[in-house]
Amino acid sequence: MTGSRSFAGPSAVPVRQAPEGRPGGGPGGAKPFRIAVFASGSGSNFQAIADEIQAGRLDVKLELLVCDRPQAKVVERAARAGVPSFVFRARDYPSREACETEILQKLRARQIDLVVLAGYMRILTGTLVEPYYGRMINIHPSLLPSFPGVNGIRQALEYGVKQTGVTVHFVDGGMDTGPIIAQKAVEVLDDDTEESLARRIHAAEHELFPQVIRWLSEGRVRLEGRRVRLVTKS
């Protein structure tokens, strides 16, 4: 789930392509492609990304975790992975905008190239969305535009669809309405429960999310209005 306030979406800022790739850690001392992951819960997608980096299959630098819940398991995962965390309580700020202004300062200080929303349950405002439009992505557990918002897995199961899946999309001014980068279908079985379907959905997320981050780090994603085009790796 993701959404934002006080930002009109793609028409509110100049549409620009996703950032050009800057592989990290490669020969010649190339500048690393820096990402920040925002998460609120257990952090299974954070872990999937960290594991791909550790295995050498994803050539980016996981620079920062942003979390709004100090007791969330993802904070422990970040500590074990040696990833710095910015952990906060929303009630300590007078407004969402004030909180996001501090987050934005931390992103800029670390020269973050891509913001990755991985189970971050706070609604964002234009304070963060606008400066990172085209450089902020979210993963959602359905084949958007079907079943946006919370409980996407439950919505699909209750509606009776035969296929659902996961979507990675750019973040704009709406609730899971940003331009779609990639999707992966997951079959809904006759005897599925919400828990059994969720296990396969999460497995698909853990495969698709690092792949999309890889494409972005390689400069292969082009954002053209609402259409997203994947170009051949040079």
Q: How far, in whole angstroms, is CA 202 from its chain's centroid?
A: 14
pLDDT of residue 119: 94
**Per-run averaged pLDDT (10 residues), the chain, 234 residues:** 48 38 43 96 98 97 98 98 97 96 98 97 95 97 97 98 98 95 98 98 98 97 95 82
Supply the residues annotated as catalytic: 140
Residue type, 16: R
Neighbours of 110 (CB within 10 A): 16
pLDDT of residue 234: 67
Beta-bridge partners for 61 = 34
Does the pTM of the predicted model rise above 0.85?
yes
Asked if residue 86 lies in contact with residue 66, where contact means CB atoms within 8 angstroms, the answer is: yes
pLDDT of residue 133: 96
Cα torsion through 109, 112, 118, 124, rounded to 10? 60
> Pairing between strand 180-187 and 227-230?
unpaired
Residue 176: left (phi > 0), alpha (psi -120 to 50), or beta?
Answer: left
